[in-house]
Copies of this chain bind each other. A is one copy, B any other.
Amino acid sequence: MSPSVDPTIPQRDNPRREDDVIERIATIVGQAKIPKGERHIGDDAAVLAPFVGQAVISTDVAVLGVHLDAELFPLEDLGFRAVAAAVSDLAAMGARARAAVVAVTAPVGTDLEELHRGMADASIITNCPIVGGDLSRGRDVTVAVTVVGECPGGGAVLRSGAMPGDELLVTGPLGRSAAGLRRRRDGAPLGDELVVAHRRPWPRQSEGQAARGAGVHAMMDLSDGLGLDLHRLADASGVGFELVDLPVAAGATLEEATSGGEDYELLMATDDPARLRMIFLDRGLRAPLTIGVVVADPSTRTWCGEPFERRGYQHLL
Tell me, yes or no, whether A170 is within 8 Å of chain B by CB: no
Assess the A57–B99 pair: CB atoms within 8 A: yes
Q: Is residue A299 within 8 Å, beta carbon to beta carbon, of the partner chain?
A: no
A134 within 8 A of B: yes
Known contacts A45-B90, A105-B140, A144-B144; A134/B60 CB under 8 A: yes
Q: How far is the CA of A45 from the CA of B147 in the complex (A)?
A: 9
A190 interface residue, CB < 8 Å from B? no
Task: Say whether B146 contacts A101, CB under 8 Å.
Answer: yes
Stretch at the interface among A26-34, A48-56, A178-186, A253-261: A48-56
- Report whether B314 and A19 are in contact in the complex, using a CB–CB cutoff of 8 Å: yes
A138-164 with Cβ < 8 A to chain B: 138-140, 142, 144, 146-149, 151, 156, 158-160
List residues of chain B with CB within 8 A of the CB of A133: 59
Query: A18 vs B315: C-alpha distance in the bound complex, in angstroms?
Result: 5
Verify B59–A103 contact, CB threshold 8 A. Answer: yes
Q: Determine whether A189 belongs to the interface, using a CB cutoff of 8 Å to chain B.
A: no
Is B17 a contact of A58 with CB atoms below 8 Å? no
Residue of B whose beta carbon sits closest to that of A315: B18
Instruction: Pick out which of these stretches binds chain B: A62-70, A241-249, A277-285.
Output: A62-70
A144 to B63, CA, bound (A): 13
Is A274 engaged at the interface, CB distance under 8 Å to the other chain? no
Residues of B within 8 A of A220 (CB): 43-44
Q: Are B132 and A58 in contact (CB under 8 A)?
A: yes
Chain B residues with CB under 8 A of A103: 59-61, 103, 144, 146
* A104 vs B317: C-alpha distance when bound (angstroms): 11
Q: Tell me the smallest distance from the CB of A137 to a CB of chain B, in Å.
A: 6
Which residue of A47, A54, A110, A236 has the most chain B CB atoms within 10 A of its CB atom?
A47
Q: Which residue of B lies closest to A218 (CB)?
A: B43
CB proximity to B under 8 Å, residues A4-31 = 15-19, 21
**B138:A66 contact, CB within 8 angstroms:** yes
In whole angstroms, what is the CA distance A131 to B158 when docked?
A: 14
Given A17-B315, A45-B58, A103-B144, 4 new contacts (CB under 8 A)? A1-B65, A47-B158, A136-B315, A144-B146
Instruction: Write the residues of chain A forming the contact surface with B, with a CB cutoff of 8 angstroms.
Output: 1, 15-19, 21, 37, 39, 42-63, 65-67, 88-90, 92-93, 95, 98-99, 101-106, 108, 110, 112, 131-140, 142, 144, 146-149, 151, 156, 158-160, 220-221, 232, 236, 314-317
